[in-house]
Amino acid sequence: MRSLITTVALAGCCFAAGAALADGVHKGNQRGPAGIAEGEALLPARAKLLKQGWRPTRRHSSDGYEYSGAELQLTGHKIFEVDSCSMDSSRCILYYSKKGKCLRMDSIGEQLRDMTVTRWADECPDAPPKASVVATD
């Protein structure tokens, strides 16, 4: 019985990991576009993207959105590709584009100097949301 439970658990983990990668989400010890990595400081990661031709996708230029919290930190340093930041944990979403491709880069940190990359995905800012993978017991 124990080996059956272990086998089912391993299969579930493999399925979830495969679904995440197939969905265009990248995380872990992989390198992203321009060599960005999870845990890397935001400013050097952004500099790598810009150097490799990724262009910031400016957000909220004409929709009346009012920045607050970590968003103000970013826009104060002319990082206008920020879409939003959570108030509770200062997780931010930034968007870039290159040759018809989109990139979403997520970060965490309250101060710009402390912000690090947490994940990235092949995702456009105004694309319809993708279906979530839900783990079952």
For 15-36, how does the pLDDT look when each residue is reduced to its tens digit (9 = 90+)? Answer: 333 334 444 555 556 889 999 9
Query: Which one-letter amino acid corresponds to residue 130?
Result: K
Q: Is the pTM of this model over 0.75?
A: no
Helices of type H across the chain = 2-22, 42-51, 70-76
pLDDT class of 5 with cuts at 50, 70, 90: very low
Task: Give the phi and the psi of residue 97 in degrees, each rounded to 5.
Answer: -140, 155
C-alpha 47 chain-centroid distance: 16
The reported pLDDT for the residue numbered 18 is 39
Query: How many other C-beta atoms can be found within 10 angstroms of the C-beta atom of residue 19?
Result: 13
Of residues 27, 49, 50, the one with CA closest to residue 39: 27
Q: Is 101 helix (H, G, I), strand (E, B) or coil?
A: strand
Per-residue model confidence as pLDDT tens digits over 95-112: 999 999 999 999 999 999
Q: Which residues pair with 98 in a beta bridge?
A: 101
Q: Where are the domains of the chain?
A: 29-121
